Structure 1
Amino acid sequence: MMSVSLINLFKRVNFRETVSAPRRLTNLFELSQSSRGLKTVHLEWKRPEKLGSIHPKNSGDLEPLPELDKSEIFQEFKEAGIDIEKMSEEQRKLYTLGFLPGIYAHRTQLQNALSKVQRHRFDTDSIEAKIARSTVNIRRLQKMQVEDQRNKKQKVFLKELIDKRRSMLNKLREADYKRFEWLIEQLNIEYRPQPENTARITRKNSLRILTEEYCDKVKNDRLEALKKKMQVEKEKFEIEKKQILEWIEKEEAACEKLKQLISE
């Protein structure tokens, strides 16, 4: 029984293959006949790189945090009246940003950003100061996220900071547009509002767009070639027209003389 069933199974498989093979050939022949005469257009399309919402290109940050001079003295130590100039070189290094914890460098970057947008020295609660502070924190976290991409809590906090800054930028844009433009220029931010509808990028739609652009390019190139050809023919036509008009004037003048002779 086992051998009979296996033989029947092989017969069915072979029969299906022998039946489907001519159908495949006819389908390929019909496809080649239907596509005959069509021009093959070589369009290259690469799927764009997917960037997260925390990426600087999507958040609008056009530059990272500037690198600080490690030999610089922390500003608050200068304002505290500490006489650093009289200290030795080894003692002086202890007050530099290179020997202090990283929080001091972060505070220096915050102060540098605030000094660009503050209305006065003690301005820390205005919307401009809040946006500047958020910008420094965002750029700092973006750098940390590149180094440690598995930190999910940090990623969520960074996304919330970006959304919060976008909300403050929207409010400032509605309230004072000139101030808004000045602020984004000072902080080097590109304003990117939240898109209403995010269209899905597919290969089919992208190839349609590329095909339309290719057709428009071919159309414009042919029109330009036709214009140049018509311009050359126009110049020839003008020369020929001038010669014909001169000949007509001569013939008319000759006819007038002939009429005068006949009338006399």
Structure 2
Amino acid sequence: MLLRHARSLLFLPASNPRAIAKARTLACDMVMLDLEDAVPDGQKAEALAGALAALGEGFGPRLAAVRINMAGTASHGAEMVAMKGARLDYVVLPKVESARQVSDLFSVSQKPVIAMIESAAGVLAAREIAAAEGTAALFMGTNDLRQDLGIPASAGRAGLSLALQSVVLAARAARIAVFDGVYNRLEDEAGFEAECTEGHALGFDGKTLIHPNQIAVANRLFRPDAAALAEARRLVEAATGGAERFEGRMIEAMHVEEARALIARAAAVEG
């Protein structure tokens, strides 16, 4: 699966073998073994060894990634080096605030990097980060970003709107994928659905997740709508080139390209 087609990207503690084994049975599009927030400082080396072993076994058709610790931490250097020989698709780097942090990781690991934007400085540098050599995608780290901006957790996402849209713009300008942040309230399915719907409307390709129970909703809400897909197929079939009328509206090459992209995404997630 192309990264741009991923809808559900699940974080798992790299120190939890049971959760890792279960992930091989889940319908998520990407498994991300977490060496950062989910692992206590004293267990980083053990978690890294567990992640490397799990990656060696593979995750079937799912994309595989590891979130290492941020630049400047004690374990960052060893984790960068370990990723070079690891069997994974992407390395996730938290709290990115400069393109140099990405290029350093890419140079050492020789793996595509997903940069997490989690601070005001990261948002302001998102354009350069997205364009850096080795950057494959951007993740929103909305929990840390909210804290950095001084926005209360109870305030919803209105205060994050500019940051969210800025990161989507940076990713699209660089022609890379971009994914929405996690949703913490595990019992609030209606709230999670609303945030997925909002994220899709903002242009995010999918959503990062913290619990398997969130996978089905993310897969459903970030997949092409059946009516839109049917219309896209009709449009591609009807188009003859140039500006023309289609079902009461004007279309041109841009609309055909958009329709074909939607059809390709549907084929990827249905396959």
- TM-score using structure 2 length: 0.25
Where is the helix percentage greater, Structure 1 or Structure 2? 1
Where is the strand percentage greater, Structure 1 or Structure 2? 2
Q: Which has the higher contact order (CA 8 A, sep 6+)?
A: 1
The structure with more radius of gyration: 1
